[in-house]
Chains A and B, each alone.
Chain A
Amino acid sequence: MLEMRNVSKRYRTSTVETRALAELNLSVEEGEFVAIVGPSGSGKTTFLNVAGLLESFDGGSYDLDGEDVSQLNDKQRSQVRNQKIGFIFQNFNLIPDLNIFDNVDIPLRYQRVPSWKRSELVESALDTVGLKGRMKHLPGQLSGGQQQRVAIARALVGSPRLLLADEPTGNLDSNTANGVFDLLLELHNAGSTILMVTHEESMASHASRSVQIRDGILRAN
């Protein structure tokens, strides 16, 4: 499903060069739920961004779903993101002036799904996260937990092969966090492949396996 070999990434600013990822090797099978843990600044988000083709990397090889994605141009990368990857962010990243329906609709728009089918898919995705009744609300009118559920619906709606979640419960109180995490577990049980960055030991322990990042270096736990 996902195969990274010796992937490395550096950030260069005018004053410093940061090694964000070093010789990273990781292979994820279809249907796995992999937790990524590590201290702040260790390169977790960078790793997830590289895995999700939001950022490029400097060296190494990366196959996603059997396809070498290191040489794709911007349009092709956008297409892969759109069709194969669902993102869940720590701060939800909903677009504040689009209502819930329109937020979840975004990936389908780029997939050029016809309108009648879009509303069907959006409604069923919102149904999955239990928010079908809030389609006309704006994100600001929902609680944090509800917003993250909307974000999960948006990540799911295009039926991606891989879900990438960056501290999805980091901004939520523990009760709500557990609810959101349970939702991810349900998705995993239903067959989704998930890569999740987390601080919570308890959550990492529920995953199929967990890996650690320290100074950009990945280690199995």
Chain B
Amino acid sequence: MLGYDSFLASKAIRQHPILSFLMALAIALGIGTFMTIMTISYSIGKNPLPQKNDFLYRVQLDAGNPDRQSNDPRSRPDQLTYTDATALMRSTAAWRQTAMFGVQGVVRPVREALHPFEVSGRAVYSDFFEMFDAPFKYGGTWSTSSDENGEQVVVLSSSTNDRLFGDQNSVGEHISLNDELYRIVGVLDKWDLVPRIYDLSFSPPEETFLPFSTAVELEFRRVGSTNCWQPSPPGRDGFLASECVWIQFWAELEDSSKRDTYLSFLDSYAMEQKQFGRFQRPLNNAIHTIDEWIDYSREEDGGLTIFAIIALLFFIVCLINTVGLLLAKFLSRTRELAIHRALGASRRALFWRFLVEAGCIGFAGGLLGLAFTWLGLVGIRVLLRGQDGALHLTQLDPLLTAVTILLGIVASILTALYPAWRGSRDTPGVLLKGL
């Protein structure tokens, strides 16, 4: 019957081309709006390292202000103090771990033809690259002794290496960073980590990476937020000993079964610190997988959710319109349907035929909706021009494409249920008699 159903459906659609087009258009507009928002929301929440999800954990310690009133567990700071970050680094509770912060520096090229330029950088420990699956083109990470001794070594991004050495293997060469010489130990390959989950930014990974201890020692200019609940004592050493939080901390465990063990390690560390008069609040430490961390951090920006709700409502309004159009379309064919009934079509057969017809329209609506989604994303890309991650956020991937088309079909079939039931309900005799 499906063959016959689609044959008649295509006839019916061509019979009322404008009405059919309007229906597809209504569905498409709704889908286009909805999927534009959903694409952005999906891209923001997409985990670029799903294979690491069971292993990598973002660490939060609540060394916050004891006078703080809020008992919301979410009020704990996202970052760690220098005291805590380095204490955790000294422990071996995690399989791999890295404390980190963003920095900025100036590279003075050895080749005279090039002017000095600013580079973004990140101060990390040697495990960082393995933890975040950073691909190396040449060389590799530095040794743990470089971490311990604050050696002047550096890993370059592939674009920085191109800029300075024209894609040559530069391992063993030196660069001048903030007027100090650094030995290049590794060069990364092209690395698409969006969002950059270790600090949840939409910028591409930094251009240079250097040991955490080196960056602290040489007082690199820090990039990122610093939060203090009591004034920091003066000087660099005062700042390092302060309760200011400014360091992100990630731990990698062998597997997720170690999660509880690691959390209790953090709690016992906090208990220990209580003896020194720190961690005066109730225990409130946490670790998050990448997925959890993305969700946790996104809950703070409700804006997108509101957009999504508005887009959904608009979609529903479009669908209600479609219900009306379908109802008009189906009921305008009562005589034809009564003839089919008289010649042997059951009520159920007609009901299915309506759904097939609506499904075809929905498929067209889905395709058109895909075009609208694409247009919407291009529009947003234009609005966000120049902003980090704009391109990434407005990308339609195959999954979303399939979802869009499927949504068209499902939505149209849902909207067709009532009109189809209504259209197939009449007794054929009564209809044929009156006409």
Q: Which residues of A approach B to under 8 Å, CB–CB?
A: 45-46, 49-50, 52, 54-56, 74-75, 78-79, 81-83, 87, 89, 91, 93-95, 97-98, 106-107, 109-112, 154, 158
C-alpha spacing A52/B341, complex, angstroms = 11
| Contact call A83/B433, Cβ cutoff below 8 A | no
The answer to whether B430 touches A81, judged by C-beta atoms less than 8 angstroms apart, is no
Q: Is B336 an interface residue (CB 8 A)?
A: yes
Within 8 A of A (CB), among B1-55: 1, 4, 11, 15
Tell me which residues across on chain B come within 8 A of A93, comparing CB atoms. Answer: 335, 339, 342, 432, 435
CB of B387, distance to nearest CB on chain A (Å)? 54
Name B341-367 residues within 8 Å CB distance of A.
341-349
Q: How far is the CA of A110 from the CA of B352 in the complex (A)?
A: 14
Q: Which of A46, A83, A91, A106 has the most CB of B within 10 A?
A: A106
Interface size on B, residues (CB 8 A): 24
Taking the complex as formed, is B429 at the interface, i.e. its CB lies under 8 A from any CB of chain A? yes
What are 9 contact pairs spanning A and B, CB under 8 A?
A75-B346, A78-B344, A81-B342, A93-B342, A97-B11, A106-B343, A107-B343, A109-B1, A110-B345
Q: Say how far A8's CB is from chain B's closest CB, in angstroms.
A: 16
Task: State which of A52, A75, A79, A111 has its C-beta within 8 Å of the C-beta of B342.
Answer: A52
CA distance A20 to B292 in the complex (A): 72
B435 to chain A: which residues have CB within 8 Å? Answer: 91, 93
A106 CB contact (under 8 Å) in B11, B15, B340: B340
Q: A78-B345, A89-B432 provided; 4 other pairs, C-beta below 8 A? A: A52-B342, A52-B429, A55-B430, A106-B343
Residue of A nearest to B337 (CB): A95
Residue among B1, B345, B349, B432 facing the most chain A CB atoms (10 A cut-off):
B432
Residues in A whose Cβ lies below 8 Å from that of B428: 54
Chain B positions near chain A (C-beta within 8 angstroms) = 1, 4, 11, 15, 335-336, 339-349, 427-430, 432-433, 435
- A110-B344 CB under 8 A given contacts A54-B427, A98-B11: yes
Closest CB in chain A relative to B262 CB, distance in Å: 63
Bound Cα distance A155, B430 (Å): 19
Bound CA span A131–B234, Å: 106
Interface pair B343/A110, CB less than 8 Å apart: yes
How many angstroms from the CA of A49 to the CA of B434 in the assembled complex? 12
In the complex, chain A residues whose CB is within 8 Å of the CB of B432 = 49, 54, 89, 93
Closest to A89 in B: B432
| Contact between A95 and B336, CB atoms less than 8 A apart | yes
Given contacts A98-B11, A110-B349, is CB(A154)–CB(B429) below 8 Å? no
A163 to B351, CA, bound (A): 27
Residues of B within 8 A of A89 (CB): 432
Task: Pick from B4, B346, B430: contact of A78, CB below 8 A.
Answer: B346
Contacts of B344 in A (CB 8 A): 78-79, 81-83, 106-107, 110-111, 158
* Chain B interface, >50% SS class: helix
Complex contact B430–A87 (CB within 8 A): no
Residue in A closest to B339 when the chains form the complex, CB atoms: A93
Q: Using Cβ atoms and an 8 Å threshold, which residues of chain B touch A52? A: 342, 429
A52 CA / B15 CA spacing, docked (Å):
30
In the assembled complex, the CB of B427 is this many whole angstroms from the nearest CB of chain A, namely 6
Q: Which residues of chain A are near B345, meaning CB under 8 Å?
A: 78, 110
Indicate whether A54 sits within 8 Å of B349 (C-beta atoms), given known contacts A79-B344, A97-B15, A154-B343: no
A176→B252 CA distance, assembly (Å)? 92
Partner of B346, one of A50, A74, A97: A74
Quick one: closest B residue to A96, CB to CB?
B336
Chain A residues lying within 8 Å of B335, measured Cβ to Cβ, are: 93
With the chains together, A79 CA to B427 CA distance in Å? Answer: 15
Q: State A79–B340 Cα separation when bound (angstroms).
A: 12
Measured CA separation A93–B339 after assembly (Å): 7
CB of B334 to closest CB in A, whole Å:
12
With both beta carbons as reference points, the residue of chain A lying nearest to B4 in the complex is identified as A109
Q: Which 3 pairs show the lowest CB-CB distances between chains A and B?
A: A82-B344, A54-B429, A110-B344
Bound complex: CA A109 to CA B430 (Å): 24
What residue of chain A has the Cβ atom nearest to residue B427's Cβ? A55
Beta-carbon contact of A78 and B349 below 8 Å: yes
B342 cross-chain contacts in A, Cβ below 8 A? 52, 54, 81, 87, 93
Q: How far is the CB of A97 from chain B (nearest CB, A)?
A: 6
For the complex, give the distance between the alpha carbons of A95 and B12 in Å.
12
Most buried by B among A78, A83, A91, A106: A78
CB distance from B345 to the nearest CB of A (A): 6
Please name the residue on chain B nearest to A79 by beta carbon: B344
With the chains together, A94 CA to B432 CA distance in Å?
12
Chain B residues within 8 Å of A158, by CB: 344
Q: How far is the CA of A154 from the CA of B344 in the complex (A)?
A: 12
Given A81-B342, A95-B339, the answer on whether A74 and B433 have CB atoms closer than 8 Å is no
Find chain B residues with CB under 8 A from A107 CB.
343-344
Is A74's CB under 8 angstroms from B11's CB? no
- Which chain A residue has the least Cβ–Cβ distance from B14? A97
Bound CA–CA A143/B427 (angstroms)? 29
The answer for the CA separation of A107 and B341 in the assembled complex, in Å, is: 10
Q: Shortest distance in angstroms between A79's beta carbon and chain B's nearest beta carbon?
A: 7
Identify the closest chain B residue to A158 (Cβ).
B344
CA distance A23 to B265 in the complex (A): 92
Contact B343 A55 (CB under 8 A): no
Q: Which residues of A contact B15 (CB under 8 A)?
A: 97
- For residue A74, give the distance in angstroms from its CB to the closest CB of chain B: 5
How far in angstroms is the closest Cβ of chain A from B52?
Answer: 56
Chain A residue with the shortest CB-CB distance to B333: A95
Q: Which of A78, A79, A154 is in CB contact (< 8 Å) with B341?
A: A78
Q: Which residues of the partner chain A approach B336 to less than 8 Å between Cβ atoms? A: 95
B347 touches A74 (CB 8 A): yes
Which residue of chain B lies nearest to A92 when distances are taken between CB atoms in the complex? B339
Closest B residue to A48 using CB positions: B429
The residue from A49, A82, A98, A111 contacting B433, defined by CB atoms under 8 A apart? A49
Complex contacts, A46 vs chain B, CB 8 Å: 433
Residue of B nearest to A78 (CB): B346
- Shortest CB distance A113–B (Å): 11
Bound CA span A93–B336, Å: 8
